[in-house]
Amino acid sequence: MNSFIRLALGATLLWASLPGCGAARAAQAQGSPNAAAQRATEQWLALVDAGKYGESWDEAAQILKNTSSRKDWIAYLKDKREHLGKVASRKLLKADALKNVPGLPPGQFVGMQYRTSFDKLKNGVEVVIPVLDQDGKWRVSEYVVQPAQGQ
C-alpha cells in the first residue's frame, strides 16, 4: 500500500467515524465555507464520474499531488472506480469543518461524506476532504470509496 493510500485511509476513516451533527444543512447554506467546499467537491466528483482521472489530479489540492503522482492517482482511481460501475445516486450525508487532521498539514478542511449508489455497489460511502488551497480555491485533498458499514 503506497503512502497516499495509507494517509487517505487514516485521515478519512478517522473523520468518517465521528458522529454527524447535521452539518449537511450548513453546507447547503448560501455563502458558507462548507457550501463553497461542496460546490468544488461536486465539480471534482463529476470529473471522476466521467472517468477523467488525470483531470481530477490536475484539479486536486497540492496535498494530494504531494502524496501521489498523476500516474499513480490515475491507476488508483481506475482500480477503485471502474470496478464499481457508474454512479446511480449520490447524497451528501454530512459536511464538517475539520482542523488538525492527523497526517495532514494545518489548514482549513471540510470532511464530506456521501451515500453513493454505484452499479456494482448499491450502498457505498464516498469520503471526500476538500481543503482551502493556497490560491484561495477549495480543492480535494483526500478521496476514498468504501462499502457502507454492515455490507
Burial of 89 (0-12, 13-18, 19+ CB in 10 A): exposed
Kindly indicate the confidence band of residue 151, based on its pLDDT and cuts at 50, 70 and 90: low
Q: How far apart are the first and last CA of the chain?
A: 23
Helix, strand, coil % over all residues of the chain, rounded to 5: 40, 25, 35
Per-residue pLDDT tens for 53-83?
Answer: 999 999 999 999 999 999 999 999 999 998 9
- Minimum mean pLDDT range among 20-29, 67-76, 94-103, 106-115: 20-29
Q: pLDDT at residue 9 above 70? A: no
Pairwise CA distance, residues 64 & 70, whole Å? 10
pTM score of the predicted model: 0.79
Kindly indicate the confidence band of residue 33, based on its pLDDT and cuts at 50, 70 and 90: low
Kindly indicate the confidence band of residue 150, based on its pLDDT and cuts at 50, 70 and 90: low
Q: What is the DSSP letter of 63?
A: H
Burial of 115 (0-12, 13-18, 19+ CB in 10 A): middle
What is the identity of the amino acid at 49? D
**Which residue ranges form the domains of the chain, and what is each CATH number?**
3-147 (3.10.450.100)
Kindly indicate the confidence band of residue 24, based on its pLDDT and cuts at 50, 70 and 90: very low
Which residue(s) pair with 109 in the sheet?
Answer: 98, 131
Hey, how many other C-beta atoms are within 10 angstroms of the C-beta on 83? 11
Pairwise CA distance, residues 44 & 15, whole Å? 20
Pairwise CA distance, residues 11 & 132, whole Å? 16
pLDDT score for 32: 63
